[in-house]
Amino acid sequence: MPCDLWSVWAALTAGALLLAAVLWRRYATHFSRRGVPCARPLPLVGNMLQMTLGRKAIPDVVAELYDKLDPHPYAGVFNFTMPLLMIRDPEIIRAITVKDFDHFTDHVGFETSSKKANPLLKKMLFSLKGKEWHDMRATLSPAFTSMKMKNMFVLMTEIGQQLVDYLLKETGDGEGKTLTLEMKDFFTRVTNDIIATTAFGIKVDSLSDPDNQFYRMGRSLISIKPLVGVGYMMSPRLMELLGIPFFDPKTVGFFRTMVSDTIETREKQGLTIDCNNTVSTVAVVTELSEDDIAAQAMLFFFGGFDTVATLLMFLSYLLATHQEVQRRLQEDIDALMQKSGGQPGYEQVVGCQYLDMVISETLRMYTPGAVLDRKCVRPYKLPATESCPGLEIQPGEGIWVPVHGIHHDPRNYEDPERFDPERFSPGNKHLIKPFTYYPFGSGPRVCIAQRFALMETKVVMAHLLSRFSFCVVEKTPVPLVIQPNNLSLGIKGGAWVGIRRRS
């Protein structure tokens, strides 16, 4: 190679290395240049190396960062290539998510640019920003009124009875027979049927018909490959440039067709408003495009299918490993069933006090969302502290609320690793520090379907525990360890629990 060509290559290489060094220094000193303490990052992965290698789950990484940054009320962390300010102080969290919400109206989300690669991702309520989010939230809210909830309760009760009938058949006539089931798989089938009937008006039985199309599409929707998830966290625009979509295109097509067919059927039948059908209600009340409706239907399905199933999975595991709690809960449910003649109504199930306590404590210990995030849209000055000079957050910068760390901080919850529903009893709830409990988020961007999710969980548990009990079996993983190489919250080794008929 001629000498002058060598010189060009050498100059280009040196220039590239110099640029990389400058960019790395700017990235690594993002917080220290502003006088803010931070966790030291690594190139590309930031503070997420253990998660990237599949050694730790996101909740464990969040809790580790939370502890590492003690006692700072706020400090810097690096979610792959994105610097984020971790807010640890409950009062500052209250200000950001509620009092001064107008400065933090948006989620951080993926900064995507291609509508072709992810046509519905940017249209989902979670991804919408500013006025678009506000308008869509206002549009969807009527789908979760008390009247709509009571109508959906009837449909959920039918699925609850369907679940009991299935288990009665599987346990047969043998007294004391125990079924060993993987509870995440089991409960995703139940939640799939609930979403299918309440949101789409479709009757399916995913326990008796395990390979039905609706369930297969649901599994496909939530089965985001870890490498795809990590890729979108690191560089969503590069993933779109490479033509790698976040959701499986076949699944997106299925939901588009489902929404289109639902709207077409209703128009042919001359229907106006169906209080039992969330998607149809949205379609009629607004002038949204079919893609807008399909995006919200997918988001609703994603939350109702996976998140509620995750809650039910941990709930069944905790009841199996804490028999005294299960016995007390069954006493309350037995009283409920006896008083209602085996057909408890909406108010009775929703108002079941000890069941609510058990669910609340399960959500404290294993919240499906390990962090809350917000993006600054207007300059905001944080208070000065002993370790921080009083940082001004600029528009476009993101913050993290370390939910898992806060929920497991012994200063907030005594002996936090102990499963203790009494924390949420009427006599103890007032002792919980304000803004240290975030199972569904905080402020105006709190989960829109939280009432639906809690009602769904209570209906399923009330019917199941009235006839069956959970128990530890040989395959039950004790102690519980969070699955490290999964974007969804899970139990390492599988959530294997026994179910047997009550005597």
The string of pLDDT tens digits covering residues 339-351 is 999 999 999 999 9
CA 123 to mean position of chain CA atoms:
18
Within-domain flag for 19: no
**323-to-69, 249, 313, 328 alpha-carbon distances in Å:** 37, 44, 16, 9
Answer yes or no: are the C-beta atoms of 420 and 361 closer than 8 Å: yes
How do residues 48-85 score in pLDDT, each as one tens digit? 999 989 899 999 999 999 999 999 999 999 999 899 99
Within-domain flag for 5: no
Instruction: Please report which helix (H) or strand (E) contains residue 68, including its range.
Output: helix 58-68
Within-domain flag for 4: no
Dihedral pair phi/psi, residue 237, rounded to 5°: -70, -35
Residues 450/454/460/465 CA torsion (nearest 10 deg)? 160
Say what the pLDDT of residue 325 is.
98
pLDDT band at residue 274 under the 50/70/90 scheme: very low
pLDDT band at residue 378 under the 50/70/90 scheme: very high
Say what the pLDDT of residue 6 is.
78
Say what the pLDDT of residue 287 is.
61
How many domains does the chain fold into? 1
**42-to-56, 233, 270, 327, 373 alpha-carbon distances in Å:** 16, 15, 60, 49, 21
**376-to-273, 392, 480 alpha-carbon distances in Å:** 38, 10, 37
Say what the pLDDT of residue 266 is.
66
CATH number, domain at 489?
1.10.630.10
Say what the pLDDT of residue 2 is.
61
Q: What is the mean pLDDT of the chain?
A: 89
Residue 270 has pLDDT above 60, yes or no: no
Say what the pLDDT of residue 339 is.
94
Percent of the residues in the chain that have a pLDDT greater than 90, as a whole number = 65
Within-domain flag for 2: no
Q: What DSSP state is assigned to residue 439? A: B
Cβ burial of 64 (10 Å; 0-12, 13-18, 19+) is: middle
How do residues 411-424 score in pLDDT, each as one tens digit? 999 999 999 999 99
Say what the pLDDT of residue 271 is.
44
Within-domain flag for 227: yes
Within-domain flag for 91: yes
Within-domain flag for 382: yes
Residues 361/365/366/369 CA torsion (nearest 10 deg)? 100
Answer yes or no: are the C-beta atoms of 339 and 314 closer than 8 Å: no
Say what the pLDDT of residue 109 is.
74
Q: What DSSP state is assigned to residue 209? A: S
Long-range pairs, 257-260, Cβ under 8 A, ≥24: 258/200, 258/294, 258/297, 259/283, 259/290, 259/293, 259/294, 259/297, 260/290, 260/294
| Type of residue at 160 | G
Structural domain harbouring 228 = 31-501
Within-domain flag for 129: yes
Answer yes or no: are the C-beta atoms of 362 and 407 closer than 8 Å: no
Say what the pLDDT of residue 482 is.
95
